[in-house]
Amino acid sequence: MRKSRSLAAVGACLLLAACGTTHENSGTQSAQGAPAKCGADGKYTIGMSQANVAEPYRQRMDDDIRAAAAAVPQFTVNFADAAQDNSKQVEQVDNFLTQQIDLLIISPNEATPLTAPVKRAYDKGIPVLVLDRKVDGDAYTSFIGADNVDIGRQAGEYFKTVLLPRGGKIGELRGLAGSTPARERHDGFMQGIQGSNIQIVAAQDGDWLRDKGQQQADAILKANPDIQAIYSHNDPMGEGARIAAVNAGRPDLPITGIDGLPIESGGLKAVEAGRLSATFLYPTGGKEAIDAAKRILVDCQQVPKTQTLPTKLVTKENAAATYAELNGS
């Protein structure tokens, strides 16, 4: 009886995978992204491929995955840190495939270099959950993350309506050039400032890292001492820019970030303390990834192709309340 239920569940999974999406960069469709086994009686190994753990956001993402998975007795999660190295992350994903994992969660360092190994996993019938940063095409089971274009648009509107309503010159600290959030946060920002007199006079890649953000902000301020604000693609680079601004004798320069981590060293506390003018919540998706894995492997269900997580603007007025809310106090 148990065997019959398992076979029926696998059949349902295969049917759902065949009907759910179009695969523009894939070959045959029959078993792509459909688990070889599923059901509450099984034990499942999940491979988690992280772009790096140098960013506090990514360490928090791993922590959220670890905590959520601890509540699912069928799951074992193996973590790998690519340390911002595309080749290393490709090798780690291929190692997971050799180990015959049951599901892959990946937050790619950059989109294009990681597209092929993600597709290899998907073509092998391994469900793939792409977290936060995208790959090219749609050879994966589900993307989970916030809408980075919308976040960028909200940031642009904040500059246009609050920080610089009369316009002005600003600098931009971008993330890693080949990662999709960097491109989308810039594109959205340009939409947000449309119709204003705000001009981006300098833009540098800070690779999402605080130290490099500080270095790049220092260069921007030296070359453009008359800029009136800095838009940073994440909070750590924004914190680095604050140090550069203080060193340049501009301690009150408005700087915004993105992430809003609810930890002592995170963006919410930086906004509360006035080091950042504002940030935008960008949930890690760690809990949602494990929820999706449970639906696929334990409940034998389909998950949406895209799961968009909520975000919001955080300023000094609501930073403390948001911090308390996200920490359950």
Q: What is the pLDDT of residues 60-83, one digit of tens each?
A: 999 999 999 999 999 999 999 999
CA nearest neighbour of 143 among 122, 158, 129, 161 = 129
Residue 150 in tokens: 């919308």
Calculate what percentage of the chain has a pLDDT beyond 90.
83
Residue ranges for the chain with pLDDT beneath 50 = 1-30
Distance in angstroms (rounded) separating the CA atoms of residues 23 and 168? 45
At residue 1, the pLDDT reads 39
Q: What is the pLDDT of residue 9?
A: 43
User: Whole-number mean pLDDT of the chain?
Assistant: 90
Amino acid at 203: A
Per-residue pLDDT, 4 = 41
Burial classification of residue 24, based on how many CB atoms lie within 10 Å of its CB (0-12 exposed, 13-18 middle, 19 or more buried): exposed
Distance CA 272, CA 249 (A): 22
| Three-state DSSP class for residue 65 | helix
Task: Measure the CA dihedral 20/25/28/34, to 10°.
Answer: -40
Contact 127, 84 (CB under 8 A): no
Q: What is the pLDDT of residues 85-120, one digit of tens each?
A: 999 999 999 999 999 999 999 999 999 999 999 999
Total residue count of the chain as it appears in this document: 329
Q: How many angstroms separate the CA atoms of 142 and 242, rounded?
A: 37
Q: What pLDDT is stored for residue 273 in this prediction?
A: 97
Q: Which two tokens stand for residue 190?
A: 């340009």
| CA–CA distance, 199 with 110 (Å, rounded to integer) | 28
Dihedral over Cα of 93, 19, 112, 201: its sign: negative
Q: Cβ–Cβ contacts within 10 Å for residue 327, how many?
A: 10
CA distance 44 to 82: 23
What pLDDT shows up at residue 26? 36
Q: What tokens appear for 110 in the block?
A: 């950059």
CA–chain centroid gap for 143, Å, is 10
pTM to 2 decimals? 0.81
Residues 6+ apart with CB under 8 A from 45: 75, 76, 77, 78, 99, 100, 101, 102
Nearest to 204 by CA among 216, 215, 214: 216
- 8 Å CB contact between 139 and 25: yes
In angstroms, the CA 165 to CA 183 distance is 25
